[in-house]
Structure 1
Amino acid sequence: MSSDPSASTDSVDPDEQLALELLRRTDYGRVATSMRALPFLAVARHVVVGGKILLRLHKGFGYHQACVGSVVAYGADNADVASPRDVRWTVQCIGLCEAVEPTDTELGLFGPAPRFADGEPFDPVYLRVEPQVTKVHTLRAGQDHRLQRVR
């Protein structure tokens, strides 16, 4: 077993493992849930640890309050960075969200936090999503290029 906490996906099915590996290729995504009976999206920094998705959001927005204890969707993609010849992919994970205090190792995986959010000092809050439903979709031009797992 690897000592890298972000690499542990031993008990994950192959499709979910591919989704988690793709999430590792990008730093930010969007968390979706409802707030006051209305849907909303919020940008979040993410890392994958042990088959779960850790999120870092700005506490000052208050979005974490709507997420904690709720089923959320988290999505990320490579649409803005893929070249015309690349396979474009999108990942969506749906699962229960909980507030967490990350370990020092987990905090290190996030890297430095932004200094400001909407002109105010960035105040991080951390959430964990345990995927229950995971989908990967691809868009490609030309030949059939299958998205392959990276080892």
Structure 2
Amino acid sequence: MSSEELHAIQLLGRVPYGRLATSMRALPILTVARHIVTDGRVVLRMHGGLGYHDACDGAVVAYGADNHNAATSAGSSDLWSVQFTGPAQIIEPTCAQRELFGPAPVDVNGEPFAPAYLRLDPHFVTVHTLGFHATPQIRQRSVI
């Protein structure tokens, strides 16, 4: 693995959720997924009731995550995002992998959560960072 890929994997481990992008019936879809990293691959848990996992099986997908919400709420000044692109495959995770995911949601859109798992084999990895090295100035306006 390249240093950029290792850095992306390390960053991905800092947040639990990301967004999966693919197409379904010729239309783009973007959905939230929980992820873990194992053996250099990204394993995703998502709700199976929507059928998105079927659309991803055997297809090239993109998966991205970032710290935008965490950084702004924690006061951190550096923002980052990572994107992994490659083929996805439906898998049955091991017991150890299931434990790494932690508790599952109770429901999705009012329906009981039905887990579906995908393994993403990243062929392309991108890391973007935004560094803010100075405290932003706050401008005050006079009210007349």
Normalising by structure 1, report the TM-score: 0.84
The answer as to whether partners of 1:85 and 1:141 remain within 8 angstroms in 2 is no
**Matches of residues 35-114 of structure 1 in structure 2 within 5 Å?**
35-83=24-72, 84-114=75-105
- 1: CA distance, partners of 2:3 / 2:98: 27
RMSD (Å), alpha carbons: 1.0
Q: Which residue of 2 aligns with 1:23?
A: 12
Q: Which residue of 2 aligns with 1:147?
A: none
* Deviations 1:47-97, CA, capped at 9 Å, x for gaps: 000110000011101111111100000000000110454210000000000
Q: Which runs of 5+ in 2 are unaligned?
A: 135-144
The answer as to whether partners of 1:47 and 1:110 remain within 8 angstroms in 2 is yes
The answer as to whether partners of 2:47 and 2:108 remain within 8 angstroms in 1 is yes
The answer as to whether partners of 2:18 and 2:63 remain within 8 angstroms in 1 is yes
Q: Which runs of 5+ in 1 are unaligned?
A: 1-11, 144-151
- 1: CA distance, partners of 2:46 / 2:125: 21
Which has more radius of gyration? 2
> Which residue identity lines up with residue 109 of structure 1 in the other structure?
L
* Deviations 1:120-144, CA, capped at 9 Å, x for gaps: 110000000010000000012126x
State the percentage of identical aligned residues.
52
Given the alignment, which residue of 122, 137, 145 partners 2:113?
122
The answer as to whether partners of 2:77 and 2:133 remain within 8 angstroms in 1 is no
Structure 1 runs (4+) greater than 2 angstroms displaced: 83-86
SS in structure 2 opposite 1:60?
Answer: helix
The answer as to whether partners of 2:58 and 2:87 remain within 8 angstroms in 1 is yes
SS in structure 2 opposite 1:94?
Answer: strand
Normalising by structure 2, report the TM-score: 0.88
